[in-house]
Amino acid sequence: MENNNNERLLQTMDDFALLLGVSIETVRVWVRKNQVPSFKIGKRRLINVRKLKKMIDESEIV
């Protein structure tokens, strides 16, 4: 899925790890600790990039 800025709103854990330059295991830990919003469709877990950006934006206000 993409928004009107051509940014991916949902990413696989592998793509998300590659984007951030961290290991897939690091992303798995973040997901397990609910530090990164995600959901599962079938066997695939997707990172909700839109929700993550919103969480970051809201935390910068404080």
Question: In which band, very low, low, confident or very high, does the pLDDT at 4 lie, cut at 50, 70 and 90?
Answer: very low
DSSP element (H, E) containing 4: none
With the CA atoms of 12, 18, 24 and 27 taken in that order, what torsion angle do they form, in degrees rounded to the nearest 10? Answer: -70
Amino acid at 5: N
Q: Are strands 38-41 and 10-12 parallel, antiparallel or unpaired?
A: unpaired
Determine the structural domain holding residue 41 and report its residue range. 10-61
Residue 36 lies in a domain: yes
Q: What is the pTM of this model?
A: 0.77
The model's pLDDT over 5-31, given as tens digits with 9 standing for 90+, comes to 446 799 999 999 999 999 999 999 999
Alpha-carbon distance of 5 to 36, in angstroms, equals 22
- State the DSSP code for 37: -
Does residue 62 have a pLDDT over 90?
A: no
Residue 23 lies in a domain: yes
Number of structural domains the chain divides into:
1
